[in-house]
């Protein structure tokens, strides 16, 4: 499957899950601040991605959980260097460059972009193909 095909399918999932227009789903669009995704929407997105692409997504695999509650990872409203490293390890598909300059916990949602979801799906498809 080409990147354009993956992108088109991810866009359709996001249009359906978030009730947004296709033209709003640009690669750099952030799921939360640009597309209005809330925590409950992330479950729907994961379910629809599984149905669309035919693979399972473990809990916390696409959107890591519990980072904000871990005192090693958050201090004074900011994600610690250990927390940033943990997020990068869990999310190799995301671009942290802009957020990392000012890693406020309230802005962690900015790393969840359409492009990050596309890259995640590409990685999952590659891993699935390699396993077979």
Checking if the pLDDT of 132 tops 70, the result is no
Element (H or E) spanning 77, and its range?
none
Question: Averaged over 77-103, what is the pLDDT?
Answer: 92
CA angle 112, 64, 14 (to 5 degrees): 40
Q: What is the pLDDT of residue 99?
A: 93
Residue 108's pLDDT band, with cuts at 50, 70 and 90, is: confident
| CB-based contact 114:11 (threshold 8 Å) | yes
Checking if the pLDDT of 76 tops 90, the result is yes
Which parts of 4-107 are beta strand (E)?
A: 74-75, 78-79
Class of domain 3-131: mainly alpha
Global pTM reads 0.90
> Rounded to an integer, what distance in angstroms lies between the CA atom of residue 31 and that of residue 118?
12
Checking if the pLDDT of 20 tops 90, the result is yes
Beta-carbon contacts of 23 under 8 Å, excluding residues fewer than 6 positions away, are none
């Amino acid at each position: 499957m080409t990147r354009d095909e993956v992108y088109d399918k991810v866009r359709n999932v996001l249009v359906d899950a978030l009730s947004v227009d296709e033209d709003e789903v640009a690669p750099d669009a952030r799921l939360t601040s640009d597309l209005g995704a809330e925590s409950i929407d992330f479950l729907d997105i994961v379910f629809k991605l599984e149905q669309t692409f035919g693979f399972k997504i473990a809990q916390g695999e696409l959107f890591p959980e519990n980072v904000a509650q871990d005192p090693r990872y958050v201090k004074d409203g900011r994600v610690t260097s250990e927390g940033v490293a943990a997020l990068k390890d869990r999310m190799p598909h995301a671009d942290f460059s802009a957020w990392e300059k000012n890693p406020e916990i309230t802005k962690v949602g900015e790393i969840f972009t359409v492009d990050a979801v596309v890259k995640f799906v590409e990685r999952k498809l590659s891993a699935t193909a390699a396993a077979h």
